[in-house]
Structure 1
Amino acid sequence: MSIQLPAMRGLLIDLDGTLYHGTKRIEGADTLITYLRETELPFRFVTNNSSATPEEVAKRLADMGISAEPAEVCTSAQAASGYIAGKRPGASVFAIGEKGLLEAVRGAGLTLTEEKPDFVLQGIDRFFTYERLAKAVRHIHEGAAYVLTNPDLLLPSTDGLIPGAGSIGAMLTAAGGKEPVLIGKPSQILMDYSLKSIGLTAGETWVVGDNMATDIAFGKSAGCGTVLVLTGLTTLKNIDNYMKQAGCEPDMICHQLDELRSYISDRRGI
């Protein structure tokens, strides 16, 4: 485990597999966030999951005993909608996704439509159908730009791994014949959104997560310090394989969240 990370003034913290599995809090998640609050160390909950609104994410965390506010949540749905609005204010969007994505689209001043959209925006959709796939493919072939909230093929849950937005995206990319604009981790787009929210630079920020291909690659490409926690997707059994696939290594590896909290406390002397 490395003991020399870049300067740290704030943290971007993953959720699924890092702070919880499904509806089950990971040991040490509550005390880590409480410590960050008590020491006034800024942080943001940064998630590739586009299904929930920031309010719902904050409530989910609070229900598990993890203190959270909606303003502290950065989702791929928010960043994706902001990206589209920046490219074409008021654009029309055909959305494949759940409540978090749909509300983010509306909140960015975009218009949801089923016909002739400017953009196809796709996230995770646990009610996804072949009919929605067929419509999205037709729109892409007719010229709509394709935006993907995140590339996660798998997500950890209470019952084990489940397919993520990237699995739907693989079908849509193959059938649509067009590579999407990627918004979520490891894309710089979500990084820029999150850093703007927390008010820090990449060099002042650590990224904490359980996924080498998204969380750690996300931080590495931006120049953040990176902390891999072995609480979710990555374990001692698969870490070498995942590091090889990601093409990078974390600055620090923690087996448990309490280990990370202790390290931060020692480093800051608080």
Structure 2
Amino acid sequence: MTTDEKIPGWTYLMDMDGVLVHEEHLVPGADAFLAELQESGTPFVVLTNNSIRTPRDLRARLLQSGLDIPERSIWTSALATATFLHNQRPDGTAYVVGESGLTTALHDIGYVLTDNDPDYVVLGETRTYSFEAITTAIRLVERGARFIATNPDATGPSREGSLPATGSVAALITRATGREPYYVGKPNPLMMRSALRAIGAHSEHTLMIGDRMDTDVVSGLEAGLQTILVLTGISGRETVEAFPYRPTLVLNSVADLVGRTADPFGH
């Protein structure tokens, strides 16, 4: 497929932080962009590697920012991880280091959460990592539990600066055990494919909008999607040249798509 062809009915996948919002603040034009998608009946999913919140919690957070996004249109690395585990080992057991977004997703697929010889150690995002919980995770991995992590991000943003994220804590467990986790979230294209399956969409007619070359764009590419990099987050225009791959399109923000969501490439 080339972007020169007439494509009927795009589906949109998009990152949340850096694309639609910054912390609790709306990216200018994001509300108009989403309103256009909703008014035209264009399918879309908002993706996030953050596994802390449930889709219901994220919907409430986005509403406070001025964005009305239904729960069914929110896909988190916790949901992707739960889908992966359900497909791999239905009705399994897991020791979880994470918060409600992850524990709820695993409960919903019928997983039992336990520290007694679990099938998996599942590491997600949390703001309350404890030495005791990490020690338990290390010992369970040493005893043979399979090591899964929701996403590889080493740091996350805050108003005061960087926060250690899932990838950093995973590195600690890896250093102690010699076992690398399997990361389900971006840049694993599995995250994109599970989101597409959740809404019955096809990669050939789907766009991925993100603010990071090293997660959003590469995972979109590897999942067979057209990709749009917006410059309202991590990666700048000069960053594009540092990578061996390129997005299909670079835009200042999603506001540039208002009025052209049916034909984003202007053909």
Written as runs of structure 1 = structure 2, the 5 A alignment for 1:45-194 is: 45-194=46-195
Aligned in 2, Cα 1:206/1:267: closer, same or farther, shift over 3 Å? closer
The CA distance in 1 between the partners of 2:236 and 2:168, in whole Å, is 22
Q: Does 1:253 align with 2:246?
A: no
Is 1:17–1:156's contact at 8 Å kept on the other side of the alignment? Answer: no
AA partner of residue 16 (structure 1): D
Partner residue, 2:227 = 226
Q: Offset of 1:233 from its aligned partner?
A: 1.2
The CA distance in 1 between the partners of 2:122 and 2:241, in whole Å, is 34
Where does the alignment leave 5 or more consecutive residues of structure 1 unmatched?
none
Aligned in 2, Cα 1:28/1:159: closer, same or farther, shift over 3 Å? farther
Kindly provide the CA deviation profile for residues 22-67 of structure 1, in whole angstroms up to 9, marking residues without a partner as x: 1111111111111111111110011111110011111111111111
Is 2:189–2:220's contact at 8 Å kept on the other side of the alignment? Answer: no
Partner residue, 2:261 = 264
Partner residue, 1:14 = 15
Q: Offset of 1:185 from its aligned partner?
A: 1.1
Aligned in 2, Cα 1:222/1:266: closer, same or farther, shift over 3 Å? closer
Is 1:16–1:155's contact at 8 Å kept on the other side of the alignment? Answer: no
Q: Offset of 1:166 from its aligned partner?
A: 1.4
AA partner of residue 197 (structure 1): A
AA partner of residue 257 (structure 2): L
The CA distance in 2 between the partners of 1:183 and 1:153, in whole Å, is 14
Aligned in 2, Cα 1:267/1:189: closer, same or farther, shift over 3 Å? closer
Kindly provide the CA deviation profile for residues 134-161 of structure 1, in whole angstroms up to 9, marking residues without a partner as x: 1111111100001111111233344444
Kindly provide the CA deviation profile for residues 153-202 of structure 1, in whole angstroms up to 9, marking residues without a partner as x: 23334444433211222222222211212211121322221011221111
Is 1:210–1:230's contact at 8 Å kept on the other side of the alignment? Answer: yes
Is 1:148–1:169's contact at 8 Å kept on the other side of the alignment? Answer: yes
AA partner of residue 48 (structure 1): N
Partner residue, 1:40 = 41
Q: Offset of 1:103 from its aligned partner?
A: 0.6
The CA distance in 1 between the partners of 2:37 and 2:124, in whole Å, is 30
Aligned in 2, Cα 1:100/1:156: closer, same or farther, shift over 3 Å? same
TM-score normalized with structure 2 length = 0.91
Count residues with an aligned counterpart: 264
Task: Specify which structure has the bigger relative contact order, considering alpha-carbon pairs within 8 angstroms and separated by 6 or more residues.
Answer: 1
Q: Offset of 1:267 from its aligned partner?
A: 4.5
Q: Does 1:203 align with 2:192?
A: no
Q: Offset of 1:263 from its aligned partner?
A: 4.1
SS at match of 1:264: coil
Is 2:240–2:246's contact at 8 Å kept on the other side of the alignment? Answer: no
Is 1:156–1:233's contact at 8 Å kept on the other side of the alignment? Answer: no
The structure carrying a bigger helix percent of its residues is: 1
Kindly provide the CA deviation profile for residues 88-141 of structure 1, in whole angstroms up to 9, marking residues without a partner as x: 222111101111001111111001112321100011111002222211111111
AA partner of residue 225 (structure 2): C
AA partner of residue 259 (structure 1): D
SS at match of 2:13: strand
The CA distance in 2 between the partners of 1:51 and 1:6, in whole Å, is 39
Kindly provide the CA deviation profile for residues 226-266 of structure 1, in whole angstroms up to 9, marking residues without a partner as x: 0011111112454444xx2xx42111111122113344355
Where does the alignment leave 5 or more consecutive residues of structure 2 unmatched?
none
Aligned in 2, Cα 1:26/1:267: closer, same or farther, shift over 3 Å? closer
Is 1:6–1:224's contact at 8 Å kept on the other side of the alignment? Answer: no
Is 2:15–2:209's contact at 8 Å kept on the other side of the alignment? Answer: yes
Aligned in 2, Cα 1:55/1:109: closer, same or farther, shift over 3 Å? same
Aligned in 2, Cα 1:20/1:159: closer, same or farther, shift over 3 Å? farther
- Cα root mean square deviation, aligned: 2.2
SS at match of 1:56: helix
The CA distance in 2 between the partners of 1:80 and 1:67, in whole Å, is 25
